[in-house]
Amino acid sequence: MIASLETTIRHQALKLGFDACGFTHAETPTHFPAYQAWIEQGMHGQMHYLERHQEKKGNLQQVLPEVRSVITLAMSYHTREASVQACELGPRGLVARYARHQDYHTALKQPLESLCLELEDIGGAGHVHRAYMDTGPIMERDLATRAGIGFIGKHTNLISRSLGNWFLIAEILTSLELKPDQPEPNRCGHCSRCLDACPTQAIPEPFKLDARRCIAYLTIELKESIPEPLRPLIGGRVFGCDDCLAVCPWNRFAREGHLMKSVFRDDLEEADLLKWLELDDASFRKKFRDTPMMRSKRRGLLRNVCVALGNLGDIRSLPALEKAAMDPEPLIAEHAQWAIKQIESRQESNCH
């Protein structure tokens, strides 16, 4: 019996180390109007790149004119070693789980390119294929839901029945005509754990995220000062936040992935805040080269470290913060000064 085109592609994807593979059509994403409304409401904050190419996000033919189908791939970054309580251990910070690995763009580039090459053999001559991994103007979560990879939870992230919340996705737009998989229905039910868990109440209602309050946005995407009312709510998180993901009941089915497991960085599981505060530009680049944390640059990461120390530190943190308060980078100096005031205020309260 000859295997179908879809079965052959799925087999090759799993053989290359991907944890799931699904197929969908190339029609307009279901949630495109909602996405446009979200942008119009300004809930994307300063992520102005999301405003661009909206016409392409609503029409995949403008991305690849020959597109007929979309192959969606999932890669788990779940690790048994990860701890969601690290931010409560004292002056040690917490890094989002996905960032405790080599940059996924690097780690997954080769297998993604290899699958595209396989498609040229499987599908025959005359077809075109284009791969993306949050690098193109396409609505990835919408396509993944249609392809049966998972469903969009109330926290607006994808949830998989076999991978929980801990996975990344990539897509291949192709001119091959592939049979679509069944879309994954929403399975959140009455659960609202993710909404309740958000420290900054960035999920004002189910399926709606106000990025301007999200700790992942504040510690990664925001390039300016973090609003002072939100700083105490960040706790010890120095790069991203997993709180809404970590409480999801579907994580009981999470399993380690094949591709990401080999590029796990155990030295990033917890942040030694005082040591990280000492990083100059060269040592920052050396430590975080080829990790997602390069995105924040030194100024952004040390800004976050200062906030974490302001929330978790004690008088032993003051010498390092006083030095940081003199940093030539104004963003770091400002947040260090704030952290010093926070610690001194706590000390005064403890003395009375």
CA distance 77 to 255: 9
Q: Is 134 a catalytic residue?
A: yes
CA distance 11 to 181: 15
CA distance 307 to 277: 11
Whether residue 333 contacts residue 326, with contact meaning beta carbons closer than 8 Å, is answered with yes
Q: 234-259 burial by CB neighbour count: b if 16+ within 10 A, else e?
A: bbbbbbbbbbbbbbbebbeebebbbb
Helix (H, G, I), strand (E, B) or coil at 319: helix
Cα angle at 129 between 125 and 132, to 5 degrees? 165
β 69-76/151-152 pair status: unpaired
Residue 274 tokens read as 């005082």
Cα angle at 217 between 216 and 219, to 5 degrees? 70
- Residue 189 exposed, middle or buried by CB count within 10 Å (0-12, 13-18, 19+): exposed
Whether residue 129 contacts residue 48, with contact meaning beta carbons closer than 8 Å, is answered with no
Q: Which of 95, 246, 78, 50 is nearest to 168 (CA)?
A: 78
Candidate list 19, 103, 121, 134, residue with the active-site label: 134
Residue 287 tokens read as 């430590």
Q: Is the dihedral of CA 62, 64, 66, 70 positive or negative?
A: negative
Cα Rg of the chain (Å, integer): 22
Contacts of 82 (CB under 8 A, 6+ apart): 97, 100, 269
CA distance 15 to 29: 29
**Active site members:** 134
